[in-house]
Amino acid sequence: MRTRHGKQQESNDQTFFQKMVCQLSSIRARLTLWYVMTTTVVLLLFGGLLYSTIAKMLPLPDHTVLPQIALQLFLMGLAILLFITVGGYWLAIRAMRPVRLVTRTAQEIGRTDLSRRFHLKRRDELGELANTFDEMLNRLEAVLSRQRQFTADASHELRTPLSILNVAASRALSQWSRPENYEQALERIESYRQELSIIQAETDHMTRLVNDLLILARADTGQPIFTPQEVDVSEVTLEVVERLAPLAHQRAIELAFGELPELRVCGDRMLLTLMMTNLIDNALKYTAGIGNHILIEGSIARRGEKWWGRIGIEDNGPGITEEHQLHLFERFYRVDAARSPLQTGEEDTHEETASGSGLGLAIVQWVAQVHKGEVRLLSAVGHGSCFEIWLPLLEGSDTSDEQETFL
Q: What confidence category does residue 224 fall into, taking pLDDT thresholds of 50, 70 and 90?
A: low
Hey, what amino acid is at 216?
A: L
Instruction: Quote the pLDDT of residue 164.
Output: 79
Model confidence at 107: pLDDT above 80: no
CA distances (Å), 42 to each of 76, 80, 301, in order? Answer: 13, 11, 77
Quick one: 246 and 387 in the same domain?
Answer: yes
Burial (Cβ within 10 Å: 0-12, 13-18, ≥19) of residue 66 = middle
40-54, 173-187, 268-282, range with greatest mean pLDDT: 268-282
pLDDT band at 227 (very low <50, low <70, confident <90, very high): confident
pLDDT winner (highest mean) among 3-7, 111-115, 145-149, 307-311: 307-311
- 299 pLDDT band, cuts 50/70/90, is very high
- Across 47-63, average pLDDT: 69
**Rounded-to-integer distance, Cα 117 and Cα 105, Å:** 8
Task: Give me the residues paired with residue 299 across strands.
Answer: 310
Residue 137 lies in a domain: no
pLDDT (0 to 100) of residue 12:
52
Which residues lie across from 264 on neighbouring strands? 232
Task: Please check whether residues 102 and 242 belong to one and the same domain.
Answer: no
d(CA 69, CA 66): 5
DSSP 311-379: EEEEE-S----HHHHTTTTSTT--SSPPPPHHHH--S-TTS--S---S-HHHHHHHHHHHTT-EEEEEE
Q: So what's the pLDDT on residue 313?
A: 94
Residue 404 covered by a domain: yes
Among 108, 132, 156, give the residue marking a domain's end: 108
Q: Are 374 and 390 contacting, i.e. CB atoms less than 8 angstroms apart?
A: yes
Q: Which of 108, 132, 158 marks a domain boundary?
A: 108
Tell me if 170 is assigned to some domain. no
User: What pLDDT was estimated at residue 237?
Assistant: 94
Is there a single domain that holds both residue 393 and residue 254?
A: yes
pTM over 0.85: no
Cβ–Cβ < 8 Å for 351, 288: no
What span, in angstroms and rounded, lies between the C-alpha atoms of 112 and 108? Answer: 11
In this predicted structure, the answer to whether residue 342 has a pLDDT above a threshold of 50 is no
What is the distance between the alpha carbons of residues 160 and 258, in angstroms, rounded to a whole number?
40
Question: What pLDDT score was predicted for residue 344?
Answer: 36
* Identity of residue 237: T
Residue 376 lies in a domain: yes
pLDDT at 120 over 50: yes
**Per-residue pLDDT for 350 more than 60?**
no
Examine residue 255 and state whether it is found in any structural domain, yes or no: yes
**Is 401 a member of any domain?**
yes
Instruction: Say yes or no to pLDDT of 397 above 80.
Output: no
Q: Which of 336, 337, 317, 332 minimizes the C-alpha distance to 377?
A: 317
Domain that includes residue 325, residue range: 228-343+352-407
Residues 101 and 234 in one domain: no
- Is 260 inside a domain boundary? yes
For the residues 144-157, what does the mean pLDDT come to? 73
Q: Which of 83, 108, 133 finishes a domain?
A: 108
Q: Which residues pair with 300 in a beta bridge?
A: 309, 402
Residues 244 and 381 in one domain: yes
pLDDT at 226: 72
Alpha helices, DSSP H, located in 175-268: 182-221, 233-250
Helices (H) and strands (E) counted in the chain, each on its own, are 10, 8
Pairing type for strands 229-232 and 264-267 reads antiparallel
Radius of gyration over every alpha carbon of the chain, rounded to an integer in angstroms: 39
User: 370 and 239: one domain?
Assistant: yes
Distance CA 94, CA 109 (A): 24
Residue 101 lies in a domain: yes
Candidates 263, 329, 268, 339; CA nearest to 299 is 263
Q: What are φ and ψ of residue 224, in 5° steps?
A: -70, 105
- The torsion angles phi and psi of 290, rounded to 5 degrees, stand at -125, -55
pLDDT of residue 61: 58
Query: Is the per-residue pLDDT at 7 higher than 70?
Result: no
Residue 110: pLDDT band with limits 50, 70, 90? low
- Whether residue 255 sits in one domain with residue 391: yes
Q: What is the CATH number of the domain that holds 285?
A: 3.30.565.10
Is a pLDDT exceeding 80 seen at residue 388?
A: yes
If pLDDT is split at 50, 70 and 90, which confidence band does 333 have? Answer: confident
Strands 293-303 and 306-315: what pairing?
Answer: antiparallel
Indicate the residue type of 261: P
Count up the domains in the chain and report the number.
2
Cα separation of 277 and 243, whole Å? 9
The answer to whether residues 266 and 232 touch, using CB atoms and an 8 Å cutoff, is: no
In whole angstroms, what is the distance from residue 60 CA to residue 405 CA? 103
